[in-house]
Structure 1
Amino acid sequence: MTESGNPAQPANVSVNEYTAAHIQVLEGHEAIRRRPGMYVGSTGERGLHHMVYEVVSYAVDEHMAGHADAIDVTITADGGIRVADNGRGLPVEAEEPTGTSAVERELTELNFGSQPHTGYGVSGGLGGVGLCAVNALSSRLTVEVRRDGHRWTQEYRKGVAVTALTRKEETSEHGTTIAFLPDAGIFETGRFSFAALSERLQELAFLNGGLAVSLTDERPQRPVRHHHPDGLRAYVARLNPYPASHLHSPAIGFESENESRTISVQVAMQWNIWSPGELHSFANSTRTREGGAHEEGFRTALTDLVNDYARRHGMLSADDEDIPAGAVREGLTAVVSVKLAHPVFEGSTRTRLRNPDAGTYVEEVVRTHLTDWLDHHQKEAESIVRRILRATPPR
């Protein structure tokens, strides 16, 4: 951490490939204030917290692009939020013919397109709308950029710039800090939940191994820091906390990326003897609570593999019916995370993933890696199948 309170800058940071030319402009931001629920889900606590997640999502994008390893989130004493990262910093140069800085364009214009916040092969958040939505729904917002050898600042009120982007003192740091106060005239509540924010930030640390995420509350002082190099295995360990109940240890974990580098998959899973089963799925670090193609691919491969293993090892006879999908997942705690260059979601809050290629690739990866694990861990595999058979309803 630097003396200014910003995360330390990782070595070998490159800023040249991320410029104002990457940002595509389609329309202004007034629609956001007229219909906030379309952009952040609600005007209640859920929407209030979604504002934080949108700013954090930009910082996570910087991490996934290889340019940041720390994010610091603070609930400020006045009830606002400050998010600082040690990435490259938002682009500050002006673009012709408007002469508007790239920072201002990102914070005031809806940038829908195939590559939001571009420079990124994978991006989370609202797909080019997130920072603009946060700005439009805030009574005030301040952005600080550390880039190109200087610190730059700009202030906004209700989405409108009230100062120009101003170059300040020299600095060798890189990164972006955004501080905002949600508009009390829009939101039904202005109080952030430390517990809810901490839960989501820890989730992001699990999903992005190597990323350190801290949360500080200045209302009382309650700092926490989440850092999970073991990634999804650590996530499963948290979800599945009773070692004596585990049918195998450690959790099964694997990851893969396709040849074109447009889809990557991470999976961690562990069976136990006590729970009915729990599956958490994510796309670009966003929780897909309604599932989608990636969950379907996982479930299809899992059901087929367990049935195949049971038949190959004489645990099911030729006359037995297949074990149903629900029984296969009995006692299974699993996390499936996909990161895609071109995600397609249903709904404004991105709760269901539609990409068929994601389902196909997840199914392929699970078949390859889980088959290998089952074949090399026969004792544990047989214990798992016996647990599943006991959970299979009689037919």
Structure 2
Amino acid sequence: MLCRVGVGLAMLALFVPSVRADERVIDQAEATIRWLITSSVEWERVAFDESKEQFLSFSEARVVGEGVASERRGWSGVRFRYTIKVHRNDLRTRDARVEFEDGRVLTSRDDWTEARPPSTSRVRFESPRRFEELSSRNVTFRGVATDRKTVTITVYDRRGRERGRRTAVPDRRGRWSTIIRLEPGSYKAEAVSDRWSEGDEVRFSVERSDGDWGFGGSGGSWGGSGSSSGRVTIDRPRNGETITDGIVRCSGRADSDEVRVQVYRGSRLVHRSDQKVFGGSWSAGPRLDSGNYRLVVEARRGRGRQEVSFSVRTSNFGGSGGSFGSSVSIERPRSGDTLSGSAYFSGRADSDRVDVLVYSDSRVVYRTTARVSGGRWSATARLDRGNYRLVVEASGGRGRDQANFSVR
């Protein structure tokens, strides 16, 4: 009897799946989520907390995790949760879903999609931990890299000012460390090895923390209204709203006598004005091109603050003839396209010239000025494998367009 039980348990063990995480699966999941976020919304940097693999079948896994999407140098950011399915054999992905703390949701197609290869150069922080409060001003930064390229660690304060920079060379196991002395306060550190690497960031404090980690005043907790004190509210635009008029009507309420209205496109401030509060209400009307934006409203006296994200979609060709300044559009590549090593860019413009810039992460890797002939412009760049953002701007005008693409 005991022999039969032992044989039965042994046979059962053959059908119990291993729960050991497959690093290839997790790397592919994070690379796909990073691409989905940076190609869809305004955030430039994506950093992951620990991602976990869940067994679905011998050919399919689900990866779940959390992370932070943020500006490269600014303090603002947003927490997110994600889930995605990965095919174990060829690393194709499907059913990706990203839920941001501010209520926005991104999803991918529900059929298998060709894998976007992760960068071969990746850097991660191991210390300090996210939101850790340190007692020593001599902060030790430790981490791991996938190669032995020199790692650059840069520390920024809440105003985006650089407060420290060091380099570290990984050992044969990929581990690196360095020490930077910092004054008391809250900081964000980023680690990268080169312009093609997938870097990491960590937010922490030295000796004291006011709980503001840049996530809409929520103090780093999941959820929340995005206001640090309730003294300022934004009624228009609503979070996640798409506006089809180039003049954005912003309004809300405040119990101070004046508010500062700031609009960001990525990490770039594109509008700032101080507005008087009348009868408890404020309003502003910035003129904006098509794109994704973040509106931040702060009480000039007091701690009130709130922010929302929105997008502007206007058609500048045809119609009344460009009352918002020069118009630019990108026709090739389309956002999400995968190109060969020789990337061909083209589009339309009603200016004489356009500035063509290609970014990897937030670094410019290609720049040229293209002539406009017959209302059309074009340029060609030779690029290595990776993920890129193409930005085209009218020289001397206000027109601007952008597209995200990859090179394989």
Query: TM-score normalized by structure 2?
Result: 0.28
Query: TM-score normalized by structure 1?
Result: 0.28
More relative contact order, 1 or 2 (CA 8 Å, 6+ apart)? 1
Q: Could you say which structure has the higher strand fraction? A: 2
